[in-house]
Amino acid sequence: MTAPLIFLLLPSCKVEPPKPPLVLTVAVLPFDNESNDLNAPDILQELVFEALSRSAYRPVPIEETNQKLQDVGIMEGGQLPALDPGKMGKDFGVQALLYGYVESFDYVNIGFYQHKKVTLHLKLVEVGTGQTLWENSGLGYTPKVVIDKDKAAGEFAKGVADQALDKWFNSPLEQESEAAVINALKKLPGFVFAGFDPSHRKNEKIKGIGKEIINGKRFGR
């Protein structure tokens, strides 16, 4: 009698490679803005461009994109629905357009409770068909809750100082903005995050020293 053959099935350790990008060339358009910060669209548009340019995609420089739109009277993202995606794509010489919508870009500071929050929605549109190829939202969120009444007063003052310094150094909600961009893009086919260019944080050390001085952590206070 022939002995039965026994097959041992081992679990596969194969790692799926990243999906190829839907397109290669893309124009990152000015973002629509529903937040209370007028600088939020520019900050997030630059971060999205930087993240894409350090991945498999080939985005048009945003200065070129914005200038071409300004030449035809488009100054902000909210005006873009008036333009035909096919014509824009031909003018930019790209396969797709990336639209952005800033839902929130907020500091909340009421002493006992603080949060920093950035919410970004992105949509990739193919210029040849006008079809939405991909869309996703990303959130960057840092909450802080203080129970003690005395500590709450100190945290309120610290929060005011931190916000003032962020504005002074033109880097509001920096970490939250980066997180929102990464979380929005991470499901884009072909996108592999390679890090942000550290040069845009060149003032980070100086800003940190300023916060320590204001918060009494230097000069023996």
pLDDT value of residue 126 = 95
Show the beta-strand stretches assigned E in the chain: 25-28, 32-33, 58-59, 96-109, 113-126, 132-145
pLDDT value of residue 216 = 52
Helix H or strand E segment including 48: helix 40-53
Do the beta carbons of residue 102 and residue 33 sit within 8 Å?
Answer: yes
Cα-trace Rg, the chain: 23
Distance between CA atoms of residues 157 and 111, nearest Å: 8
Q: What is the pLDDT along the chain (221 residues), one digit of tens a residue?
A: 444 444 344 455 555 566 778 899 999 999 999 999 999 999 999 999 999 998 889 999 999 999 999 999 999 999 999 999 999 999 999 999 999 999 999 987 676 667 889 999 999 999 999 999 999 999 999 887 656 566 655 555 565 556 555 565 456 889 999 999 999 999 999 898 888 876 655 455 444 444 454 455 443 44
pLDDT value of residue 144 = 73
Residues 6+ apart with CB under 8 A from 205: none
Amino acid at 74: I
Q: Domains (ranges, CATH) in the chain?
A: 25-210 (3.40.50.10610)
Both tokens of residue 88?
A: 């824009």
Residue 181: what are its φ and ψ, rounded to 5°?
A: -65, -45
Secondary structure of 88-99 as H, E, C letters: HHHHHCCCEEEE
pTM reported for the whole predicted model: 0.77
Quick one: how far is CA 48 from the chain centroid? Answer: 6
Helix H or strand E segment including 107: strand 96-109
Distance between CA atoms of residues 52 and 71, nearest Å: 25
